[in-house]
Amino acid sequence: MRDKKPLIVIAGPTATGKSALAMELAEIINGEIVSADSMQVYKRMDIGTAKPSPADLARIEHHMIDVVEPDHDFNAAIFHNMAKKAIADIYDRGKVPILTGGTGFYINALIYKSEFEYYAEMKSDHKEELGEHSPEILFAKLLEIDPEYAKTTHMNNVKRVIRALEYHKETSEKFSTYNQRSKDSRTPAYDFKFFVLNRERELLYAGINVRVDEMIERGLIEEVESLLKSGLTEFMTSMQGLGYKEICAYLLGRASKDEAIEMLKQGTRRFAKRQITWFKHQAEGEWIDVDSMGMMEIVKKVISS
The separation between CA 242 and the C-alpha centre of its own chain, rounded to angstroms, equals: 11
Do residues 149 and 292 share a domain?
A: no
The residue that leads in pLDDT, 194 or 158, is 194
Report the C-alpha gap between 116 and 231 in whole angstroms. Answer: 34
Instruction: Lowest mean pLDDT of 13-22, 106-115, 264-273, name the range.
Output: 106-115
Asked whether residue 44 is domain-assigned, the answer is yes
Asked whether residue 242 is domain-assigned, the answer is yes
Q: Which of 76, 61, 67, 68 is nearest to 26 (CA)?
A: 61
Query: Which of these three, 142, 162, 185, is where a domain ends?
Result: 185
Do residues 30 and 110 share a domain?
A: yes
Asked whether residue 300 is domain-assigned, the answer is yes
- Sequence length of the chain is 305
**Residues 161-176: tens digit of each pLDDT:** 888 888 788 778 888 8
Query: Which of these three, 185, 200, 226, is where a domain ends?
Result: 185
Q: How many other β-carbons are positioned within 10 Å of the β-carbon of residue 285?
A: 20
Q: Which pTM was predicted?
A: 0.82
Do residues 160 and 273 share a domain?
A: no
Asked whether residue 99 is domain-assigned, the answer is yes
The residue that leads in pLDDT, 133 or 22, is 22
> 36 pLDDT band (50/70/90 cuts)?
very high
> 130 pLDDT band (50/70/90 cuts)?
low
Do residues 271 and 142 share a domain?
A: no
Query: Which of these three, 136, 162, 185, is where a domain ends?
Result: 185
What mean pLDDT, rounded, does the chain reach?
Answer: 90
**Residues 47-83: tens digit of each pLDDT:** 999 999 999 999 999 999 999 999 998 888 889 999 9
Residue 70 sits in which domain range? Answer: 6-115+186-304
Asked whether residue 283 is domain-assigned, the answer is yes
Upper half-sphere CA count for residue 242 (Cβ side, 13 Å): 22
Angle at 236 between CA 249 and CA 103, to 5 degrees: 95
Report the C-alpha gap between 254 and 249 in whole angstroms. Answer: 5
**Residues 204-225: tens digit of each pLDDT:** 999 999 999 999 999 999 999 9
Asked whether residue 1 is domain-assigned, the answer is no
Q: Give the list of residues 6+ apart from residue 155 with CB closer than 8 angstroms, or none.
A: 135, 136, 138, 139, 161
Region 4-28: what's the mean pLDDT? 96
Q: Is residue 123 scored above 80 in pLDDT?
A: no
> 120 pLDDT band (50/70/90 cuts)?
very low
pLDDT of residue 183: 65
What pairs with residue 286 in β-bridges? 195
89 CB-contact burial (10 Å; exposed 0-12 / middle 13-18 / buried 19+)? middle
pLDDT of residue 153: 83
Q: Give the list of residues 6+ apart from residue 282 with CB closer than 8 angstroms, or none.
A: 104, 108, 152, 179, 183
Do residues 190 and 138 share a domain?
A: no
Q: How many other β-carbons are positioned within 10 Å of the β-carbon of residue 33?
A: 29
